[in-house]
C-alpha cells in the first residue's frame, strides 16, 4: 500500500523557483494581490534558507519584458544557481536546469512559479514522470485567475503532486517546535503579521521566567 502521507525531508529536498520575475508578476498574477504574493514567495525562499535547503532559480527572457527575478529572492540566495532559459517554456526542457537538480542528488522537489498553469504545471508533470516527488507551493505560485489556478492545481494533483502552502512547508520541515522555538517563531512572524502577537507573547513569557 502506498503511503498517503509523504513528508518533506529537509535532507532530500530542493526548492525550485520558476520565473518569479517582476514583469510577469505585475502583468500576469491576478489570483493574489502583488504585495501578498511577493510576501508568500519571499517567505518560501526564507524557509529554504532557514532549513538550509538548496535553491535553484530559473528565468525566461529576463532581459525582455518578463524582467529580472524578485530582488528579495536573489538577496536571500545570492549563490543559488540561476538558469536563464533562452526559450524553453517548460523549464524541464532545459538541460542545464535538469542537470542542476540532478547535481543536488535530491529526489523531493518543492516548486513554485509564475504562471501556475504553465511554468509550474509543465515541469511538475515532467518531474513526476522522471520519478521525483513533487510538492507544489500554491500560494507562492500565481496566474491570471483563480479558476485557471484551480484547473492547473487539479491537473498536477491528479498527476501525483502534493499541494501545499508555504506555511505548511515550513511546519512540515520544522516537525517539532522544540527544534528551535525562537528561530522558527521569528520565521513565521516575519511573514505572518498576525503571528507576531504569538511569538511576542512567548518571548515575553520567557523573559518573565528568566527574571524569576
Domains of the chain listed by start with CATH number: 13-175 (3.40.50.850), 176-212 (no CATH)
Sign of the Cα pseudo-torsion (120, 121, 122, 127, in order): positive
Residue 209's φ and ψ, nearest 5 degrees, are -65, -40
The mean pLDDT value for 168-192 works out to 94
Question: What is the predicted pLDDT for the residue at 153?
Answer: 98
Question: What is the predicted pLDDT for the residue at 173?
Answer: 98
Question: What is the predicted pLDDT for the residue at 105?
Answer: 98
pLDDT of 26 above 70: yes
In contact, 147 and 154? CB cutoff 8 Å: no
Cα separation, 108 vs 117, whole angstroms: 21
Q: How many other C-beta atoms are found inside a 10 Å radius of the C-beta of residue 205?
A: 10
End-to-end, the C-alpha distance of the chain in Å comes to: 53
Question: What is the predicted pLDDT for the residue at 193?
Answer: 80
Q: Tell me if residue 128 is catalytic.
A: no
The mean pLDDT value for 89-114 works out to 98
The mean pLDDT value for 148-159 works out to 98
The mean pLDDT value for 174-192 works out to 93
pLDDT of 205 above 80: no
Catalytic residue among 15, 111, 119, 187: 119
Amino acid at each position: 500500500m502506498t503511503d498517503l502521507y509523504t513528508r518533506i525531508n529537509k535532507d532530500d529536498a530542493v526548492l525550485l523557483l520558476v520565473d518569479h520575475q517582476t514583469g510577469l508578476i505585475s502583468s500576469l498574477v491576478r489570483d493574489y494581490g502583488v504585495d501578498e504574493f511577493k510576501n508568500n514567495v519571499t517567505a518560501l525562499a526564507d524557509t529554504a534558507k532557514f532549513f538550509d535547503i538548496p535553491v535553484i532559480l530559473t528565468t525566461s527572457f529576463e532581459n525582455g519584458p518578463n524582467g529580472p527575478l524578485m530582488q528579495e529572492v536573489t538577496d536571500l540566495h545570492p549563490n543559488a544557481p540561476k538558469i536563464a532559459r533562452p526559450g524553453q517554456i517548460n523549464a524541464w526542457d532545459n538541460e542545464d536546469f535538469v542537470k542542476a537538480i540532478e547535481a543536488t542528488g535530491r529526489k523531493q522537489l518543492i516548486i513554485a512559479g509564475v504562471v501556475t498553469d504553465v511554468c509550474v504545471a509543465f515541469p511538475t508533470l515532467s518531474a513526476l514522470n522522471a520519478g521525483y516527488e513533487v510538492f507544489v507551493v500554491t500560494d507562492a505560485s500565481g496566474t491570471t485567475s483563480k479558476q485557471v489556478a484551480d484547473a492547473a492545481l487539479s491537473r498536477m494533483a491528479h498527476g501525483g503532486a502534493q499541494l501545499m502552502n508555504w506555511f505548511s512547508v515550513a511546519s512540515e520541515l520544522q516537525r517539532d517546535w522544540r527544534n528551535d522555538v525562537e528561530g522558527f517563531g521569528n520565521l513565521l512572524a516575519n511573514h505572518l503579521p498576525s503571528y507576531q502577537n504569538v511569538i511576542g507573547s512567548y518571548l515575553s513569557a520567557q523573559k518573565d521566567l528568566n527574571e524569576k
